């Protein structure tokens, strides 16, 4: 195993350990490998404090269905937040482009007026 693969393995192992026993057990209970990876990736994007709060909620749940519901809701909220950030970025980009176009049109009119 080369150093790059070892470092990647260590990072994944550290992420799994840091998410907490409740989250890890809940994710392990998911039979679909694709869904399990999706949960793992989403949880890795949470801050440590968010992971701790989620872990506490999961540990308080009585059934596996409740735990999965809590985990699913957390992933949905994370996606909504990411979509809102993407929408803000798109809006900012659009405003910059429109503003630049208006400035360019103003410059063209000024140059046209000077040339006449």
Extents of the domains making up the chain: 3-83
Whether 34 contacts 4, CB under 8 Å = no
**What's the pTM value of the predicted model, to 2 decimals?**
0.53
Q: What pLDDT, on a 0 to 100 scale, did the predictor assign at position 102?
A: 92
Residue 104 has pLDDT above 80, yes or no: yes
29: helix, strand or coil? coil
Measured distance CA(23)–CA(71) in Å, rounded: 8
pLDDT 10s digits, 47-77: 778 888 888 888 888 888 888 888 888 888 8
Whether 51 contacts 23, CB under 8 Å = yes
Whether 21 contacts 57, CB under 8 Å = no
The position carrying tokens 């900012």 is 92
């Amino acid at each position: 195993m080369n150093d790059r693969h070892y470092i990647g393995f260590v990072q994944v192992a550290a992420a799994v350990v840091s998410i907490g026993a409740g989250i890890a057990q809940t994710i392990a209970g998911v039979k679909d490998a694709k869904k399990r990876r999706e949960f793992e990736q989403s949880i890795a994007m949470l801050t440590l404090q968010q992971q701790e709060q989620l872990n506490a909620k999961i540990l308080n749940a009585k059934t596996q269905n409740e735990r999965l519901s809590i985990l699913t809701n957390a992933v949905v909220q994370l996606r909504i937040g990411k979509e809102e950030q993407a929408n803000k970025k798109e809006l900012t980009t659009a405003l910059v482009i429109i503003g630049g176009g208006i400035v360019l049109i103003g410059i063209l009119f000024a140059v046209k007026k000077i040339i006449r």
